[in-house]
Amino acid sequence: MKQGTAIGRVRGLGSARSGTHHWWLGRLTSVSTLLLFVWLLVSLLRLPRLDHEMVTEWLASPLAAVPMVLLIVSTFWHTKLGMQVIIEDYVHDEGMKLFTLTLLNFFVIGLGALAFFSVLKIAFGGDASPS
């Protein structure tokens, strides 16, 4: 009879060795999101007016559009990472977990793409408001 530890009997169902990477990504996206939100707040407070015309004109500048796109990417990536951890920890049925993670990915990518497109549309000369 083969002897082994309890971990040895698990047969590879232990650590996926991705926890550290996931943890670092969460910290990196939280710091970048915080810094970019501070930039956004300061930038908006420096505008003479906060009406649609002024904000659209400001966002048409590359110095505003590029950090805004970075803020969108960082925010949605951080949201995805955080929600993924919650789903993995609290959804125990494997089928429901897969479904929920897939739904999360569609949601984050869809809303992120919409926000990304809106900023690019304004930056390249269009108005993102509905007709």
- Indicate the domain borders of the chain: 15-126
pLDDT tens digit sequence for 4-28: 555 554 545 555 566 788 899 999 9
Q: Tell me phi and psi for residue 61, to 5 degrees.
A: -80, 140
Q: How far apart are CA 109 and CA 106, in angstroms?
A: 5
Residue range 73-100: average pLDDT? 95
pLDDT tens digit sequence for 57-76: 999 999 999 999 999 999 99
Domain 15-126 of CATH type 1.20.1300.10: yes
pLDDT tens digit sequence for 43-59: 999 999 999 999 999 99
Q: How far apart are CA 66 and CA 64, in angstroms?
A: 6
> Which pTM was predicted?
0.80
